[in-house]
Every structure is written in structure tokens, then in C-alpha cells.
Amino acid sequence: MTKKHIKIVAFLFAGAIASGASAQENSTVRQLEAAATASLGGPASAQAQLEQDRLRRLEDSRLPGLDRFFDPLEQSREAFAKRTGLNLSFDYQALYQKSSDSLSGTDEAASGQARIIGNWELLNRGTDNAGSFVFILENRHRLGTDIAPGSLAGEIGYLGVTATTFSDTDSTLSVAYWSQALSGINGGFVAGRIDPGDYSDILGYVNPRTTFSNFSILFSPVLPIPDPGFGVAGGGYFTDQIYALGLVSDANGSLTDVDWFPGGSEFFTYGEIGWTPARDQRYLTNVHLGVFHVDDRDDAGVPSSHGAMLSGNVTLDESIMLFGRLGWSDGDAPIARRAVNAGVMWRPGFYDDLIGFGVTVADPSDQNLDTQTTVEAFYRLDISDNLALTADVQYLNNPGFTDDDPLVFGLRLRFNL
């Protein structure tokens, strides 16, 4: 990282802390509580993201004038949703990453994502047993660089992904499924084209568009999550605090090809049983044991794998979230055969600003490679109800395919409406 980049990060951090904004009621906690009951999946799933963005637009921000500018559009959208049951949202993310080292000479990458998120409540609207058609139509594209951030790992010799979801796959229908709530079990199911990552080993900080970027920090690297594909997921509560969740999805899922099990009957299967103090606390405080199995993928030449994770997070004083995982796997599909990751997120009280720090230590599935350590830190600056800027730094020790230990600097901008 150059001195110029360090100065930019320092400026953003100092500006946030010196803003003089007084702490307000913890809107982040309220958002996660509401999202946990709105979606069977994790915080990054379509229904959960819609609910978090809706509540965020009700809070104060650094630029109230900009908030007022968008108020008429937001009110029109909400009125449309009340009339039709179709809740539509738009967001755009842009990410720039630059590495201190490179094997190929390519050391920077940038891409954008434009998404239309929809939740169309068609059955039992407004009740505890509502049924909805949920979809995300998106376009991922490079922004003035030779590669997208999702490909940067290969250029710097890192075994992993430095920028989860930031590829350049053009336009695609990433998810399209039926979501059915079942009040009798305080749960429900989804069926259709789903993203398995929304229902696998979920903790309350897992959202690559609003928190961390590195896959091995967001998830355990022992978990080989496929791309979106056709499948079914479901879950519910045995008691007020004990729940179960599981899914079966296409092991050959593809973000770009909407095909019906192109590799045949090759499945990714995941299940977990967990504890949380209450249903609306599932993202905030949670402990669960998860297991997975992925079938042989004949065309891809990848043998079957299986494994388990013990994961948990706890929120303290409505401002600090601690999280951690232990993971084990057998087979070549995952990045790692053993891994431990842990970290913290802290809301300092400046509007909706957020600070995060995470570490993952992993033994690669390829036993010829050394133990790898991934460290990531970020500061998300809440600019307005609709706009956030995140500065991010990753340190990659023993990255796998190089003797260098790169630093990866990132800037992510997110706009939602």
C-alpha cells in the first residue's frame, strides 16, 4: 500500500471520528432484529436486505438535505408496495482494490454491481403465513480495470477470494424463488433458484456489501458454498430458542447460467441446529453446529467433500458483536481442511458507522501449502440514509502461491434506494 493510500484511509477514519455527531439510538441492532424475522436466510439475503435498508432510511444521517431529496421517491415506492404487495428496491455497489504485491503485474481491480431486489407478497398478504416471490436481477461489471476484484486473488497468489460477490458476470437473474412463512413453526421454506450462501453457517455480520469483503472472514474456508442454483431451504423453531435450518442445492450452481441441474443429481447439502435467545435475536446472538456434504462433481472433476463448523456470535451492550468459528472438512472442494476465525464489530455511535476486525487461520486442503492467515479491518462511514463508504485493509500471510505477504487496500461505495 502506498503512502497516498494510507493517507486516504487515515483521512476517512479521522473525518468519521471528528464529525462531532452524537450517538443515536442503535439503529443497526433494530435493523438486524427486524431482518431476522423477515428472512429465513442471513443478513445478505434479499428479504433481509430490503428490511435493513427500509429501516435505515428512517434514521438521521450526516446529510439530511440529501435524505430529503430522495424522500419523494422513497414515499412513492412505499405507496406502490402497499397497493400491490410488490416491494422493489435498487442498490449499487462499487469496489476498488489494490494489492501491494502481484505475480502478474496486475495489482488493482474495480467493479460495480447494480441490483433490483424484489419481494412480491402474493399469498396471505400482511399475515404471519405470507407467501412471496423473491428475486434479484443484477449486473456486475468491471470499472476501468483489466479484472474485477473477484479475480484479484489469482493475480497475487492468494488461496481464497478477497472480494466476495464482486465479479464481472454481466446481467443475470441471481435468485428467483418462492418464500413461504409458516407461523406454526416460527419459520418457513424457500424453493427455486436460491443462493446457498444465504442459508449456510449464517452469523449476524455476514454481508459482503456492508461489512467484510474476504470470503474467509465472512465464512469458514472449510465450507465450499456453490454459486446460485435451484434448490430448497427450510427451517423453524422447536422451542422459543432452539431452531433447525437446512438446504439442498445444485452443487454446480452458476451465477450466469440459469440451468436445471446441468451436472445431473449432484447436490450441496447443509444443515444446522442452533440456539438464540429469541427469534428476532438470531443475527445478534447465536450458537450453532452446522454440517455439510457436497457430492462428486464429475464434469468439474471435483470429488465429494464433507465437514462441520461450530459457530457463534454475541452482541454486547447493543454496540459490540463478537464472532468466531471452528471448522473441519475432508476432501478437495473446500479452500481449507481446518480453520478457525474470529473477530469483532463495533458501532462507535457516529450515526450508523461501523468498525470491523477479523482474523482467519486456515490449513489449506492442499497439504503441500503452509498454514494461511487472513486479517481484515474496515471502517464503514455512514454518509446519508442511502449512501455509505467503506475503507478496508486485508493482510494475507502465507497466501498460498507466493512468498510475498500482500496488503490489499479497498474502497467500497454503496447506494440504495
Q: Which of 311, 317, 321, 319 is nearest to 288 (CA)?
A: 311
DSSP-assigned letter for residue 55: H
pLDDT tens-place string over residues 208-224: 999 999 999 999 999 99
Number of other CB atoms surrounding residue 407 within 10 Å: 17
Cell numbers for 196: 446457498
The distance from CA 247 to its chain's CA centroid, rounded to whole angstroms, is: 18
Q: Which amino acid would we find at residue 144?
A: G
Residue 60's pLDDT is 84
CA distances in angstroms from 24 to 27, 55, 60, 70, 405, listed in the order given:
8, 14, 8, 22, 40
Number of other CB atoms surrounding residue 199 within 10 Å: 27
Q: Cα(25)–Cα(35) distance, rounded to whole angstroms? A: 17
Q: Which amino acid would we find at residue 355?
A: I
Pick the CATH number of 3-416 from 2.60.40.1760, 2.40.160.10, 2.60.120.330, 3.40.120.10: 2.40.160.10
Q: Which residues lie below 8 Å from residue 57, measured CB to CB, with a gap of 6+?
A: 67, 74, 385, 386
pLDDT tens-place string over residues 363-416: 999 999 999 999 999 999 999 999 999 999 999 999 989 889 999 999 999 999
Q: Cα(400)–Cα(335) distance, rounded to whole angstroms? A: 11
- Through-space distance between the first and last CA atoms of the chain, rounded to whole angstroms: 33
Q: Cα(179)–Cα(190) distance, rounded to whole angstroms? A: 4
Residue 181's pLDDT is 95
Which residue ranges make up each domain of the chain?
Answer: 3-416
Q: Which amino acid would we find at residue 196?
A: P
Q: Cα(211)–Cα(197) distance, rounded to whole angstroms? A: 15
Place of cell 454503496: 414
Cell numbers for 261: 441441474
Cell numbers for 342: 474470529
Residue 309's pLDDT is 97
DSSP-assigned letter for residue 366: S
> DSSP labels for 114-133?
EEEEEEEEEESTTSTT-EEE
Residue 11's pLDDT is 41
Place of cell 473446500: 334
β-strand partners of 310? 289, 326
The distance from CA 285 to its chain's CA centroid, rounded to whole angstroms, is: 17
Q: How many CA atoms lie within 13 A of 46 on its CB side?
A: 29
Q: Which of 359, 286, 347 is nearest to 16 (CA)?
A: 347
Residue 28's pLDDT is 74
CA distances in angstroms from 318 to 29, 58, 59, 313, 379, listed in the order given:
6, 19, 17, 13, 18
Q: Cα(306)–Cα(332) distance, rounded to whole angstroms? A: 10
Q: Which amino acid would we find at residue 119?
A: N
Number of other CB atoms surrounding residue 191 within 10 Å: 14
DSSP-assigned letter for residue 158: B
Residue ranges of the chain whose pLDDT lies below 50: 1-24
Cell numbers for 354: 461501523
Q: Cα(171)–Cα(180) distance, rounded to whole angstroms? A: 27
Q: Cα(189)–Cα(178) distance, rounded to whole angstroms? A: 8
CA distances in angstroms from 356 to 44, 142, 197, 226, 402, listed in the order given:
17, 26, 21, 26, 27
Q: Cα(155)–Cα(401) distance, rounded to whole angstroms? A: 10
